[in-house]
Every structure is written in C-alpha cells, then in structure tokens.
Amino acid sequence: MKTKTICLLTLMVGSVGVFAQTNSTSSTAEPLNDWQPATSNQQGKQYPQVNSEGRVRARVIASQAQSVQLDLGGVKYPLIKGDDGVWTGISKPQDEGFHYYQLVIDGAQVPDPNSLYFYGAGRWGSGIEIPAKDEDFYALKNVPHGQLREVLYTATTSNSVRHCFVYTPPDYDKDPNQRYPVLYLQHGMGENETGWGNQGHANLIMDNLLAEGKAKPFIIVMENGGGIGGPRRDGPPTNAAPAGAGSATNGAARGPGGFGGRGFDFSAFEHVVIDDLVPYIDANYRTIPDQPHRAMAGLSMGGMQTHVIALAHLDTFSHIGIFSGGSVTTNEIPDLGAFKQKVKLVFVSYGSREIDPANRRSGGAPRGFGGDPKANTEALEAAGINCHFYVSPMTAHEWQSWRRSLHEFAPLLFQD
C-alpha cells in the first residue's frame, strides 16, 4: 500500500487549527496587506479579496442596513459600515481551496453579488477560492483540453429525461476507432452533477495529468445522485414512470454491512446507475464496455454510494474510490478470493483535519463512517487487495481534499 501523509506540515496545521477553533473575530496580528481579488469572483469584480494568510475580505453596498455579516466556515464575521454606505469585513485564515459562503444582510441570507455561484448545501450560492500551494494541478493551462458535455438522456426504465455531465479526454474526437475506460464520479450531499466540474475542476485536473503523461485517458461521467424523486431543475420529466419500476437491481443498494443504511437508501440511484446510466454511456460513447474498464468513485455521500453500489455490482466495476466517505472492511466481503480477482483497486482518502486529532477543528470521533479508514484499508491490503490510502494535508471535509483525491486516484486507474 502506498500511503501518502505529509507529516512535516503538522505543526503548521496545529496553529491554523487554533485560529479556526477561536470563535472571536479578533486576531492578535494585523492581517497582511497583500489582498487580491479571489479567482472565484465574477468577471471584473474586485471583491471579495483574499490575502496570503488565507483571510477573506468581503465588501457589499448596503446603505440602509443595520447589520451585515460574512457567513463562512461556520462563523459569522461582522462587516463594518463606512461613511459611504459600504460594508467591509475580514475573516480568520481559511484552509486552502474552495469554500461555500453567503452574506447575511439584516437577517436575509443571500449570495454575495460579486462571486460566482456554485451548487452546494442544497442551493446555488457563493463560493470562494483560497489560493493553495499546490493549485497548479487544477489550474487552467495552455494544454490540450477535454470537453465537459452537458447531456440530456432518456432513462429508458422510467422513460424520463435525466441530466448528466460527461468529460471526454482531449483526443476523443480525433480518432473514431479509439475506445476509452469510464470513471463514474459522484458529488456529495446537497450538491449535484455540476459539482465536480465547477468546484472540483475535474476536467482541468485530468487535462493537466494527461498533458504530463501521468494518467491514462478515460471518460468521466457525473450524474445527480441526490435529487432522485425530487423535481428536476430542467422541468418535469415527460411521461415519467415511477422510479424503480422494472428494476432488477432495486433494493441491493441498501447495502452490505450497514453503510448504506446510515439513514440513506441508495437503491433508487443504484437503479439509475446500473439500469440506465451505464447502458446509456456504453451505447452512446466509445467506451470499453466491460468490468475491467469501469471505475466508480465519489466524495462523502458519493463515496458511500460508491461503496454500496460498486460492491453490489462487482461484475460492473473494477476500481473503487471513496473520498471522505468511509472505507471497505474485510468483514463485509464474503469471498475475499473472488473480490481480489475482480477488484483491481480500492482507494480511500480523507482530509487530515477529518481524521487526525491534532489537526481537527472540533471534538468528536474522526469521520470514519464505520471504523478507522486507515486501519481498515491496511487490513484489506493485508488480505491481498490492491489498496491505496491518501490523506490531504491541512484540509477538512471540503473540495480541496477531493480535488487532491482525484489527482491521486486518476493515475492509478486502468493500468493493466
């Protein structure tokens, strides 16, 4: 097992953790005055800004307001009104990477009119990008680019129209005879199929890995694993049959062991993946349509879905990635020999703040979703399974952990 933890950073992590745990907005030191507009701002907007400490400086015009707050990372920072009716305020240092936030204006929770908008926490709202030391791996570069395709397809078992995104690698349209493996990649709870493209930069991560020759080219499919049964953003499906009608697999995703049963029932999404999505993708893209060339991965709830759905369908998937969403235990595998035969990779990852007590922001048990993920993964490897455990340094249950996880996971895929 290749284990990658950057322990040299622990001391720094500790001090930032203290900042994050302090609930006061005052800080002992003056913020560094090297503010830059956030890259997550709308075009031409000078605010919000970030500095090299990872602080956020927000600004909004609200001439008649009594109270304005920046709501970021679980803390509401008060903004101060200037003589010109302009409110400004500064947060404590934030983790590197992407964070959702909002403004609170006299009690109204609203998006910041200056930021781009992202779907998370069950709504389209503001997000801010804190520059990261390793941001180069998801930067937009002048390299060959794949495409993010917005796809409307008919889920044949329900005759309803569904929405997904498909990343095709840079050379996909060059050679009509070339076929590709496929990674099915899922978002977290309160997010949707736009997350991996917008917040995750999955396309740029892959473009950059491919340009450096560090990964094999494959297709990535991003569906909506959270909105099943709810209204579709694009309007009601026409002539929709009840979800699950005619499904041969309905029910299996309640899960082995109990992972699927932690308040979640993934059977409807399992039905979509197995009976609608995989057949659609194999019929409409130049895939290599067999088990050795299919992977599934996801973050948080998407990791739990991957855990449950992939393990129930080892004839469909050979590579499994679980980012901040639990781990696989030997107990839940009835036939380790058969499992080893079929599963080419089990990848498990977390943010360091999620699992390392020294780095954590709050009390309580580490986010293991059923035991210590590192110990579980080591036990699985001891049983002969090809495993990889990764910890993202100085990040929590957030997108920087998952960008890095994809960046670690992708080069391991489809290596046979």
State the DSSP string of 361-404: SS-S--S-SSS-HHHHHHHHHHTT--EEEEEETT--SSHHHHHH
| Residue 39 vs 88, nearer CB to a copy of itself | 39
Query: What is the closest distance, in whole angstroms, from the C-beta atom of residue 167 to a copy of itself in the complex?
Result: 10
Query: What is the closest distance, in whole angstroms, from the C-beta atom of residue 154 to a copy of itself in the complex?
Result: 6
Work out whether strand 182-186 and strand 345-351 pair parallel, antiparallel, or are unpaired.
unpaired
Query: Which amino acid is residue 112, in one-letter code?
Result: D
SS3 353: helix
| Residue 227 vs 366, nearer CB to a copy of itself | 227
Q: Which residue has the tokens 């069950």?
A: 122
Distances (CA, A) of 245 to 142, 232, 248: 47, 19, 9
Q: Which residue has the tokens 């107990």?
A: 331
| Residue 163 vs 254, nearer CB to a copy of itself | 163
Query: What is the closest distance, in whole angstroms, from the C-beta atom of residue 68 to a copy of itself in the complex?
Result: 8
| Residue 162 vs 374, nearer CB to a copy of itself | 162
| Residue 193 vs 354, nearer CB to a copy of itself | 193
Query: What is the closest distance, in whole angstroms, from the C-beta atom of residue 291 to a copy of itself in the complex?
Result: 23
| Residue 170 vs 368, nearer CB to a copy of itself | 170
Query: What is the closest distance, in whole angstroms, from the C-beta atom of residue 282 to a copy of itself in the complex?
Result: 13
Query: What is the closest distance, in whole angstroms, from the C-beta atom of residue 84 to a copy of itself in the complex?
Result: 12
Q: Using CB under 8 A, list all residues that contact a copy of itself.
A: 39, 42-44, 60-68, 85, 102-103, 105-111, 113, 116-117, 122-125, 139-142, 145, 147-154, 159-161, 173, 176, 197, 203, 207, 227, 230-235, 237-239, 284-285
| Residue 127 vs 326, nearer CB to a copy of itself | 127
Query: Which amino acid is residue 361, in one-letter code?
Result: R
CB count within 10 Å of CB 318 equals 22
Residues 238, 222, 396, CA angle at the centre, nearest 5°?
130
Work out whether strand 319-323 and strand 160-168 pair parallel, antiparallel, or are unpaired.
unpaired
Q: What is the Rg, in whole angstroms, of the alpha carbon atoms belonging to the chain?
A: 22
N- to C-terminal Cα separation, the chain: 17
Cα–Cα distance for residue pair 56/76, rounded to 1 Å: 12
Work out whether strand 75-78 and strand 36-37 pair parallel, antiparallel, or are unpaired.
unpaired
| Residue 192 vs 349, nearer CB to a copy of itself | 192
Query: What is the closest distance, in whole angstroms, from the C-beta atom of residue 190 to a copy of itself in the complex?
Result: 11
195: which residues sit within 8 A by CB, 6+ positions away? 118, 119, 120, 187, 188, 222
Cα–Cα distance for residue pair 214/136, rounded to 1 Å: 15
| Residue 173 vs 315, nearer CB to a copy of itself | 173
Cα–Cα distance for residue pair 62/44, rounded to 1 Å: 20
Query: What is the closest distance, in whole angstroms, from the C-beta atom of residue 170 to a copy of itself in the complex?
Result: 10
Query: What is the closest distance, in whole angstroms, from the C-beta atom of residue 103 to a copy of itself in the complex?
Result: 7
